[in-house]
Structures are given as C-alpha cells and as structure tokens.
C-alpha cells in the first residue's frame, strides 16, 4: 500500500461535473486532499456534498472531469474495485446489513482483501481458515477501536442508533482504506456521543488514514478539521483552514442567505 508522498495529493478532483438531466449537482469541482488530513466538506442541504462521495466511490460516473486517487484515475471504475483500492465510506442514512451480527458486518468489510473462493471454502482449505481467522480478529479489534467491542454478537439492527453509526465506521475501516469518507457521522447523536465521535475521527487520522468528512455540526467541524471546503449549488465557493472559512463572506452568505453588507 503506497502512501502519497509529500506534495502529491492523496485524492484529486479535476473539473468534476455531475449532471442529472438538466440538474447540475456538481459543477467543475476541483479539490486536492493531502494524506493525513481531516478534511471537511460543508455546505447547505442540496449543495452536492454527498454527490462528491458518490462520484468518488463509483456510485455515479462523473459527466466530465477526472478523479485521481494515489495518482490513478478512479472515476468510472467498478465500485468494489474502488473500495479495494483503498477508499471506504459510510452512509448518510445508515446502511448496515441489518440482520447480520455486528461482527459479521465488519467481516464483510475485511473480506474485501480476502481471496478464497467457493472451492477453498467448501473444502475448508488452510488458507481459507487463516483468512477467516484474520477477518474475525480484524473485526473484533475494529469493534473495540470504535468502542462497541461488547456487542460483536448483537444483530446490527438491534444496536442503538449511535452504535450503528460506529459499526458503519468499523465496517468501512475493515476494508483497510487510505481514505475514509464519513457522511454526516454525527447526525442524530447527543453531545456526549458527538464528543466521543470527535476522538474517534482523530484516532482514525492518527492511524495513518485520511478522513474526508461531510458534517452539519459546525462546532465539530471547526474543532477537528485541518482543512474545509464549502459547497453551494454544486460549486466550491471557499476552501481553507477553519478560521479562514468561518470569516469568508461568501460562506456566510451561503449559510445565512443574506447580503453581508445589509447589517
């Protein structure tokens, strides 16, 4: 697994446009994310943030433009290949495998790098067993890492909402991604849970991964982000460290919808 060298971005968007019929969800979007950062994507509802995640992960093929991950074009590639190449995501509305146990959910993620096929599994061959062991150990370790180690055997849908969000993060991490995309991880969490989540996101970054984050909770975003980009109507209107972005008049206008000079 190569890590981006200094200077070369981990992921780079060049003029990415995504149109749905007449609707432009993303317009000539440029962005570079350096490895080792916590990078936040903010903007009003409908600004195109999740569309960014969807074009990165291959859910949509961009209408035009290019996305490079570790120097390689990934736009238009198959979704599972993109995941295997080192990008994993969570979903705005939790999408776990509801009737599988927490551990099994995470093991599905870990399987992204497993190779045994039907023959190895049917015959119980040694490398299959060692992969199963690896998946189980990785899974348990990650459940501990996100703080739900005690719930491995629980069915995913029976977990409290906050734990389901953590489980989604664990499942994404199990694919051993270089880039983790978190789509509104704090949605629906209480202040204590949000606080714990902040710690978790930092831990992920410290684990030599890069985090790209969509979040509406401005306190959280301003607290943990190294860099922020602001989207409005499919266009990037600002980018910079939290302090700068906070003071940017365009951003204030986009959020408040008012002319800054009016006061």
The residues binding other proteins (CB under 8 A) are 20, 25-26, 43, 45-52, 54, 57-60, 78-80, 83-84, 88-89, 91-93, 95-100, 104, 107-109, 111-114, 116-118, 121-124, 128, 131-132, 135, 155, 157, 171-172, 175, 183, 214, 231
CA distance 13 to 75: 10
Q: Which is nearer to other proteins, 23 or 262 (CB)?
A: 23
Q: Work out how close the CB of 84 gets to other proteins at its nearest, in angstroms, rounded to a whole number.
A: 5
Vertex 147, ends 141 and 150: CA angle to 5°? 75
CA distance 198 to 37: 14
Q: Work out how close the CB of 106 gets to other proteins at its nearest, in angstroms, rounded to a whole number.
A: 10
Extract the tokens encoding 216: 């509406």
Q: Which is nearer to other proteins, 104 or 217 (CB)?
A: 104
Contact residues for 118 (Cβ-Cβ < 8 A; gap 6+): none
Q: Work out how close the CB of 53 gets to other proteins at its nearest, in angstroms, rounded to a whole number.
A: 8
**Residue 99, number of CB atoms within 10 A of its CB:** 10
Q: Which is nearer to other proteins, 49 or 166 (CB)?
A: 49
Q: Which is nearer to other proteins, 66 or 100 (CB)?
A: 100
Q: Which is nearer to other proteins, 158 or 190 (CB)?
A: 158
Q: What phi and psi, each to the nearest 5 degrees, are found at residue 96?
A: -80, 175
Q: Which is nearer to other proteins, 113 or 194 (CB)?
A: 113
Q: Work out how close the CB of 132 gets to other proteins at its nearest, in angstroms, rounded to a whole number.
A: 7
Q: Work out how close the CB of 78 gets to other proteins at its nearest, in angstroms, rounded to a whole number.
A: 8
Q: Work out how close the CB of 261 gets to other proteins at its nearest, in angstroms, rounded to a whole number.
A: 29
């Amino acid at each position: 697994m190569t890590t981006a060298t200094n200077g070369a971005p981990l992921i780079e968007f060049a003029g990415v446009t995504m149109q749905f019929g007449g609707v432009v969800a993303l317009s000539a979007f440029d962005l570079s994310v350096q490895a080792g950062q916590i990078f936040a994507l903010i903007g009003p509802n409908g600004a195109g943030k999740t569309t960014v995640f969807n074009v990165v992960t291959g859910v949509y093929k961009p209408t035009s433009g290019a996305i490079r991950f570790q120097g390689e074009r990934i736009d238009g590639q198959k979704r599972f290949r993109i995941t295997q190449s080192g990008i994993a995501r969570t979903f705005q509305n939790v999408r776990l495998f509801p009737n599988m146990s927490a551990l099994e959910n995470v093991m599905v993620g870990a399987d992204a790098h497993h190779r045994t096929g039907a023959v190895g599994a049917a015959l119980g061959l040694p490398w299959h067993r060692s992969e199963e062991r690896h998946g189980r150990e990785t899974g348990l370790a990650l459940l501990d890492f996100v703080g739900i180690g005690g719930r491995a055997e629980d069915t995913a849908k029976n977990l409290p909402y906050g734990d389901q969000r953590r489980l989604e993060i664990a499942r994404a991490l199990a694919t051993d991604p270089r880039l983790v995309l978190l789509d509104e991880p704090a949605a629906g969490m209480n202040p204590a849970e949000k606080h714990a989540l902040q710690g978790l996101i930092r831990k992920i970054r410290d684990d030599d991964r890069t985090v790209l984050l969509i979040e509406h909770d401005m306190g959280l975003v301003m607290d943990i982000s190294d860099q922020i980009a602001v989207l409005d109507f499919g266009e990037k209107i600002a980018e910079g460290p939290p302090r700068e972005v906070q003071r940017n008049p365009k951003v204030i206008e986009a959020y408040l919808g008012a002319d800054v000079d009016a006061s």
